[in-house]
Structure 1
Amino acid sequence: MPIPTSDTLADRLPAEVLRCLDDTGQTYLDSIDRIGSVLKQMHCSRPLVVIDRRAVTASNLSATVEAALADVDCLWFDEFTPNPTSEEALRAANAAAEHRADSVIAIGGGTCLDVAKMAALAGSENADRQSDVCRGGSTESLSPLPLMAAPSTSGTGSEATQFAAIYVDGRKQSISDKRMRPAVVIMDPRLHAAMPASIAACTGMDALSQAIESLWAVGRTEASARYAQAGGRLIAESLVSSVCDADEGSRFKMMWGAHLAGQAINISKTTASHALSYQLTQRFGIAHGHAVALTLGPLAAANATTDATNCNDPRGAEVVCGHVQQATSVLNATPAQMPSVMSDLLRQIGLPNSLSEAGIGENRLAEIAASVDPVRLGNNPRRLDTAELHELLRRAYTA
């Protein structure tokens, strides 16, 4: 299969990025036109195509996608909302089963990819098993369908991960299975060119936060750190221009930077800013990437105070503080500078830069702090109790 690595990318991406891509274990295509030929190589002819039609239409690629899949028997699925539910995931899985799909293709943003992952995971199972899996049940003994992903946003990095975020009875649940990680990734810059500034801003902040959180996470490894640093540098140098100018060069770098941040977070997992963000999104409707970014600055400052009494990381407080310094250096900042640096960055890309500006009342902060899933906090390098979370939120309340 075509792999756009050194021959086609060497003049556009740093060598450290190319080395990272060589190690991901995924196959890369640089054009959505090639989907049909790849399906033939995989001996697949009946794909379920989970598609964000708005994103594809905005990119003027509807005819291109249809032509690329003209020789296979497709079933198209687009029945999902921005925060996908278990019911929507189940409908996608049912559609795959009814179509007797032999593969799944995702073309769209993080939501689209999450739904497609669930369809691939459960699409060959019976109805009862599908229902259980789509509600977060056991994924053992499943026979997932092959999955290809073509992301249209530069944010979640879902095309690089084994996770799908699904809302089950109103609560966000991360479903994990290594077999949900797409084998083939189509990184077509044309899909990213038409991203509205608001989406580029929110998804870009998600990608930046993933790179930074990955660098201080308890789950950090040597490999995740390489991905996070390489991706973080691309994101830092291109985020503002990607949002404000929408130029092709910046969008290209953001596409690959977000992908590497996804590779990093697939290994290290997320930390406290993501744990807090789920409450901000669920209760107040703040877009996910924006919600994460609102607490990232105060969290960096808090994590830099890790000591022997509050350290979660078995490598010790001194190592943690070094990791935090390395993480904030992505933005050429010290941990103490991060609250103001993040506030300024949010302002530059047109997003409210505090919880108060985002419309959250100060009287709701204690409620948010008390509602955070403590399991999700276990990967943060510094232990944070409810009172400390409340204080962190208070610092994020004003710019």
Structure 2
Amino acid sequence: MAALHDIAQQIANNGDSAWQQASQPSSLGYDFLDPNAPVHYVKGSKGTLVVQVLADNSILGQDTPDYKQAGIATTYLVTDQGPISVIVNWVEKLGPAIASVAIAPALLAILGAFKTFLQSYLTRAYSAIAEGATDSATVSEEAATEAAEDAAIDGEVVADEVALSLTFSPLAIVGIAVAAIAAIIAIILFFLAKTMICLVKIFNYTDQTLNLALCYEYDLVAKEVPQSGSMPPIGIAPAPPGVKPLDSVIYRADYQFQNDSSVNGLGVVIHGDGSGDFPGMTAVIDIPAVGNNSLYVDLKNTEDWDQLYENIDHGQYDQLTMGVSNSGYQLSIATNQLRGESPSPITGETGYFYEYLIVIEKGAS
């Protein structure tokens, strides 16, 4: 174990500066590493210590009310003879489903914590041996226990809306003190509580009466909706008797939604039935707890609202605008931002306010 002793000495003497990070593991020339996951490594005169974390995205992407294995953290000790020691550690997850956009920063945080764990463990074990300790099992257990405390994470924000807590459960090992430690890494991922407000304005620039309805709702409270779903077409502006209006009036429908749970997002499908030559219209808004918002519109009499929302919820429509048209009508939607905070258009306070403008108008016939 001369190679590990040399690396432990480097870590004990140099701390964080002994480590390097490779976002492209292929640059190290080791074909046993996953090419798509970053690594931390320490290069010594007799070998290299490499740490890599791999996740099971299908587990991270589902609710786990109990701890469930969600990946592995692997430590390799590599010499000119190849990897001479490989220690695999379980990564277990507890908490709600995590959007794909938050997985990469979470894995970097876990990788950094595991590096800290190894650094603390090897430093403490090496120092104990250097000071004359002879009971290797006791040295290993004490160093691992203290390293677990050093590497723990408590509520670190790893994405805009996700926080991570992480604890290590070191397993007792026997043998020489300066050896790679086996550990179970238990992670808790949770959403940061936040209130989301969705404000929607729909303008009817057509000669058709639109009968609007909320056809699908996800985790929302309707704070403001039109008294009637009927939205008149462009018409003559109201005026007192004897006064001839000089212009037409355009009608607008206002909606305001709020997420029902401060740890979930919200979603809604608004539909207008077809009549005459108007085929009907549908607008979908998805504001997830983590990741970019999505929007979608179509000129169809869609009825499978659940399936439509599920399709949009997959994230391929994370865009600021969208427009569709047919031979007679044009339907457009736009929003102010895809994620994050902004000033309220009503009070000016900063928060998670998302504004949407939907316009239906006559097109070229």
Normalising by structure 1, report the TM-score: 0.22
Which structure is higher in helix share? Answer: 1
Pick 1 or 2: higher relative contact order, CA cutoff 8 A, min separation 6: 1
Structure with bigger strand share is 2
Which is higher, the Rg of structure 1 or of structure 2? 2
Q: TM-score, normalised on structure 2?
A: 0.24
